[in-house]
Structure 1
Amino acid sequence: KTHAHRNYIDDIPRDVKIRRLNEIINSFHENAKIRYSQFIGKPQLVLIEGYSKRDSQRLKGISDGGHKIHFDDANVIDCIGVNNNNIDLMMKHLENSSKRNRFNNLFDISQKTTNMKSGDYVLVLPISTTGCSFDAIPLAKMSIAQFNNGKFSEYNINVGDNLHVFIDKYKNVNKI
């Protein structure tokens, strides 16, 4: 028991306590969503932990910043052992297209594709946040060294309405 518990009377009504707690929780979630929104459109490297508990078609992982990220289980470009210049060209194209909000110019990097599994590192593009986790689009499987040697933190993809259309077209062109 604490000093306050032993020496003071609890004269605060229960409904006031609940209201105050809810205010604190809501304030936390609002601030978390603001903080998390700075990562939208910025590529992240994610360690895949497995499938989501809520949706067996989606994978979950954790970024190097400790953020939870959920994304669809799909084939991705296998960049393991690929020259970072090719990956850099892909990211520049994606960024430039997003700035114009015109995702109709497709870019074919002609790479082999692969499935994702637990323990893989995957480059993802966060597209939305709840303030507790991210929803993302998986782009490529790569190593930590490739991510660290690349310039991925410099990219900022404008996540507009047409991004999903572009990603779908991009996957079709690259046979992902």
Structure 2
Amino acid sequence: MIKISKKAKKYIIKLLSKQELGTNIRIFVDSPGTMYAECGMAYCDMNDIDKKNDHKFSFDFFDVYIHKLMLPFLKDSIIDLVKNDLGTKITLKAPYAKILNKSKNFSQLQNSIKNFLTTQINPKLLLHGGSVALYDITDSGVVFLKFSGGCNGCSMIDITLKKGIEKKLIKNFPEISSVEDVTHHISGKHSYY
């Protein structure tokens, strides 16, 4: 999935040694599947990890976490270390970051909505440890979504759905008549609010 050069591993270990014990790395893509896609790396501690949705990749002395929605965009990624006159920097090359994955099981509208959720909605929900996925679309244009992570059980989910996601989806996809939540919400420590 992700390859990290020996030089980059040593450098990451050096950076992590200056952080609190238990700090690891998160890799992400902003605006995945679009021409504006940008990859990034950040520190993450154990409180930032969503055990249900984050995939863990273990390396010597540290772990890398990637949200499951980002995995297709980070396929065959390479992390390397580049030294030049200006200093040392880590590079992350992700050949699929700007490529939209199309599933054979989804119609064009479903693919478009799925891409919209991945690129426009989920990056914002990920800030709260949450995500949303397309569950189904009826012939009459009703979209059913399923929330997970910090969105599951969140007391603000109705506002997020009706005032945010539904408005954006209807604005971008006139075929949609309404958006409904099919999540079985359970409040708990995982819930953002």
TM-score band, normalised by shorter chain: under 0.3
Task: Specify which structure has the higher proportion of helix.
Answer: 1
Structure with higher Rg: it is 1
TM-score, L = length of structure 1: 0.23
* Higher RCO (CA 8 Å, separation ≥ 6 residues): 1
TM-score, L = length of structure 2: 0.21
